[in-house]
């Protein structure tokens, strides 16, 4: 007696649906979640577009304000400038500002900025973007005489530390200005080292310095 062949069975949709398909069905069945997903996708796309557009504009047209130089203040006779490694000793060599003797003193740097536009440049915030915070053992006159001093208290940690400039610093159109930033260590310790760059915020755009390192003590 010939055996009967079983008809091939058809797997149910729930057996063959992938995890992504099941999630997609759930989202479609819930209009609130579907709307949130769409809005989130649009927001992410818009943010990405504007970031790329701003970067393209800055590279194409440049920023009217620029950093001409930065260096030790002429009154800062307890520090010296040299070429040295970054605080994380990753092989890069940067400008390093370190004390010429053991001490517990602040570091003063003069920043010289040039405004090439016809409008006044208003600088109101400086971000110190610290890429490394480590430790170590154990001037030149400015191009333009600085006419204001700002004090920042640096924490010995990696990340962006933002400091409002009060009062704001104004550079007239087609002119150059210079101010001093006094770096003080807000953390206790000796031979504290920071590798950072300064980012100045103005109404004409951002101005970024090259990476540099500072060594200070607070005891």
The domain that contains 129 carries what CATH number?
A: 2.60.40
Higher-pLDDT residue of 146 and 25 is 146
Domains: count for the chain:
2
Residues 95 and 196 both lie in one domain? yes
Question: Is 190 found in the same domain as 130?
Answer: yes
Same domain, 130 and 82: yes
In this structure, is residue 3 part of a structural domain?
no
Domain presence at residue 2 = no
Give CA–CA dist 150/120, Å, rounded: 20
21, 106: one domain:
no
pTM of the model: 0.66
pLDDT(144) > 80: no
86 and 177 part of one domain = yes
Task: Say if residue 68's pLDDT is above 80.
Answer: yes
Q: Using 50, 70 and 90 to split pLDDT, how confident is the model at 140?
A: very low
* Sign for the pseudo-dihedral over CA of 49, 50, 51, 54: positive
- List the domain range (segments joined by +) for residue 29: 17-61
| Residues 129, 28 share a domain | no
Q: Which range among 53-67, 116-130, 181-195, 197-211 shows the weakest confidence by mean pLDDT?
A: 53-67
Query: How do residues 79-91 score in pLDDT, each as one tens digit?
Result: 888 888 778 766 6
Same domain, 143 and 169: yes
CA 53 to mean position of chain CA atoms = 19
pLDDT tens digit string along 166-219?
Answer: 999 999 999 999 999 999 999 999 889 999 999 999 999 999 999 999 999 988
Mark whether 115 and 79 lie in a shared domain. yes
Q: Are residues 128 and 25 in the same domain?
A: no
* pLDDT > 90 fraction of the chain, expressed in percent and rounded: 43
């Amino acid at each position: 007696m010939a055996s009967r062949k079983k008809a091939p069975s058809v797997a149910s949709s729930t057996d063959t649906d992938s995890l992504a398909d099941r999630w997609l069905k759930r989202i479609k069945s819930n209009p609130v979640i579907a709307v949130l997903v769409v809005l989130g996708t649009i927001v992410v796309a818009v943010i990405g577009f504007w970031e790329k557009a701003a970067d393209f504009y800055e590279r194409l047209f440049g920023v009217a304000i620029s950093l001409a130089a930065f260096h030790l203040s002429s009154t800062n006779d307890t520090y010296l400038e040299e070429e040295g490694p970054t605080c994380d000793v990753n092989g890069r060599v940067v400008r390093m500002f370190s004390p010429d003797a053991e001490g517990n003193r602040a570091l003063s740097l003069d920043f010289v900025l040039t405004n090439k536009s016809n409008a006044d440049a208003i600088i109101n915030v400086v971000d110190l973007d610290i890429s490394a915070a480590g430790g170590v053992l154990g001037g030149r006159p400015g191009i333009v005489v600085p006419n204001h001093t700002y004090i920042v208290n640096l924490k010995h940690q990696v990340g962006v530390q933002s400091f409002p400039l009060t009062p704001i610093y104004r550079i007239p159109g087609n002119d150059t200005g210079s101010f001093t930033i006094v770096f003080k260590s807000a953390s206790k310790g000796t031979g504290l080292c920071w590798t950072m760059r300064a980012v100045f915020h103005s109404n004409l755009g951002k101005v970024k310095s090259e990476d540099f390192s500072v060594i200070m003590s607070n005891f």
